A and B are shown apart, each in its own frame.
Chain A
Amino acid sequence: MSLAKPLPRLSPDNEPFWEACRAGELRLPTCEECDKPHLPPGPVCPFCFGAKLAWRKASGRGRISSFTVVHKAWFPSFRDEIPYNVIQVELEEGPRLTANLVQATPEELRIGQAVEILFDKINDSITLPRFRPMAG
C-alpha cells in the first residue's frame, strides 16, 4: 500500500499539456486547420482529422459541468481527505477537464459555478491544475 498519491501518466500526446502546467499555463491542443481545441490530448484533431496541432494558451476559466464527492477511501493516500470532491469543468474554449475544486464553500460545489484555474506543484515534473470559484 503506497502512501504516495498516483500521478498522471505521461504519453507523447499529452506531454505538452503537462509541460505547460509546469510553466503555470493551461494550453489546449488546437487544430491548425479547423481551429478547434480538444481534450483529452490526442494525436489528431477529432473534429476534422487534421494532423497539425498547435498548443494554444487557454483562459483557464470555465464552469462546473458535473461533480462528485468521494466518501470511500479507495486510495490509502487519500484516506485523510475523504470526503473530497472531483469536478468536471467546461472550459470557456469548450473542452472539459477533470480536476478538484479548492478554496471553496460547500455551496460553491454546484453545476454552473464559475471557476478559474490554479496550479499546484506536486514535484519537479508534475504540476496539477485545480480550480477555485471565480471571485465575485
Chain B
Amino acid sequence: MHSFKDTAAIVGIGSSRFGRKMPESQLALGAMAMRAALEDAGLERRDVDGLSIHMGFPLGPDYDRVAEAFGLDIRYVNQSWLHGRFVTHCLQQAAIAVSAGLADVVACISAVSFTRERQILGGDHDAEGTREEGGTHGESPHYGLTAPVGGAAMGMQRYMHLYGATSAELAAVPISIRAHACRNPGAVMQTPLTLEDHQASRMVVDPLHLFDCCLMTDGAVVALVTSAERARDLKQKPVYISGMQGIRAGREEFIFAPRGLGINQQSGMQIAPDAKDLAIYRDIDRTAVQGFYTYDAFSPLVLFALERFGFCGPGEAKDFVQGGRIGPGGALPVNTSGGLLSEAHVGGWNSIAEITRQLRGTAGPTQIPGASVLQWGTCWGDSILMRN
C-alpha cells in the first residue's frame, strides 16, 4: 500500500476579509485569497498548475471559470461541491496529486457569497431538497422540512432522547467556540456568548437555537499544497499532511447523526467507532493531538465528531465539552479561530488556515503553546492529521 505520510505539505495560505454582505463577487474574494496565498508562500502565479476547488454549482463558478478569471495554466483539476462533506476530500486530492506528480503546486480554493446566495439553502429555491432523490440532509419540502439545519435538528433530537442530553449542555459548544473567536480579531463574532444568551436566542428548528447555527458569511480561503520535497525549499515552515482517511457512507450513515443513531434508515442505536473510523491514528496516536478542528455548521456536529474519533464514548460528548475543555486553554481546544459558528462560514477552510498558522507558531492570540500535531476531522469520519 502506498503511504502518503508526509509526502505533501501546505506551504501557503491566504484569506480575503470575512463578513456579511460584502460587495465583492465570489471570484473577487477568491482572487484576494489567491494573491495573499502566493505572497505567503513566496510562489508565483505561474507555479500553480493544479486546482482543487471546493465551490461550484449551485454555489458559484466552476474550476474552468476560476482558471480563466485568474489567468492560470492548469494541468490537474479536482472539483467537489460546496458541502462540508468535501473539505477533506479537496485537500486530500491536492495532497495525492502533488505526491503522484500530477501537479507541482495545487491551489485549494473555497470562495463563498452566502449572504447573496442564501436562498439556495432552504425554502422555495431549495435546489438540494427538490432534486431527484431529494437532498442529503433529510429534506422533505412537501412536509415543510428544508435546509441543512432540519437534518441536524432531527439528529440532535434523537441523541437527546437516547442520552438525556439537554440544550443547555449543547450550549457549551457554541460558547467555547465563541470564546476562541473573541481572541481572533478577524472573527465576525467578537462578544462572549453566555448560556443565558444561548437559551434566550430564538428557536430555529427545535431543539436548535439560533446560536447552534453557523454564520452565513462571505469570504474566501486559498491553501497552496506542494510536495514535501519542494516545501522544504520554500519560504514558510511546511505543514505536513501526516495522515488521511476518507469519508464514510452507507445505510448506517446520516449526514447529521452519529453512525447508526436511527435517523432515516440507520439501524437505530449509535455504533461505537470501528477500525475504519480510527485508521487515521495508524502512525500518530490520538493522544498526540493537541487541537481538534471540525466542520461546525451546527453545534451538534462537534459532539458527533468527537465521538466519531473516540475522544469520548457514544453519548459522552455532551459531558466531555463541559468545563472549558474545548475552549481556550482547554485540554482539547476545538476550532481555535472560531469555526463556522463564530469566525466565518468559508466552507471550513478558515479552520484549515488556522491549523496552518498554529503549526507555524504564528496564530498569535489563539496560539496553542507548542502546537505540533493537530487534527481536522468531521462527523462523517473523514480526517487529516497535520504536523510541523
Q: What is A's interface to B at a CB cutoff of 8 Å?
A: 1-2, 5-9, 11, 38-40, 46, 65-72, 74-78, 81, 83-84, 86, 88, 90, 95-96, 98-100, 111, 126, 128
Contact = CB atoms under 8 A, between A and B. Distances in A.
Interface of B: 122-124, 126, 129-134, 138, 140-147, 150, 153-155, 157-158, 161, 202-207, 251, 262-265, 268
A78 B112 CA distance: 28
Contacts of A8: 142
B206 A69 contact: yes
17 contacts: A5-B142, A65-B263, A65-B268, A66-B161, A68-B206, A69-B203, A71-B205, A75-B141, A75-B144, A75-B146, A86-B143, A88-B154, A90-B262, A96-B263, A98-B143, A100-B144, A128-B142
A74 B206 contact: no
Nearest to B129: A6
A90 B134 CA distance: 20
Contacts of B144: 5, 70, 74-75, 78, 81, 84, 86, 100
Contacts of A1: 124
Contacts of A40: 133-134
A111 B253 CA distance: 20
Contacts of B154: 66-68, 86, 88
A93 to B, nearest CB: 12
A100 B264 CA distance: 15
Contacts of A6: 124, 126, 129-130, 141-142
A128 B144 CA distance: 12
Contacts of A88: 154, 263-264
A89 B154 CA distance: 12
Given A71-B202, A84-B144, A128-B143, 12 more contacts: A5-B142, A6-B141, A9-B130, A68-B145, A75-B123, A77-B124, A81-B144, A86-B143, A88-B263, A98-B145, A100-B144, A111-B158
Contacts of B161: 66, 111
Contacts of B141: 6, 75
A75 B147 CA distance: 11
A99 B122 contact: no
Nearest to B147: A74
Given A2-B124, A68-B205, A95-B265, A74 B146 contact: yes
Nearest to B133: A11
A107 B138 CA distance: 24
Among B126, B143, B146, the one with the most A-chain Cβ atoms within 10 Å of its Cβ is B143
Contacts of B204: 71-72
A9 B134 contact: yes
A7 to B, nearest CB: 6
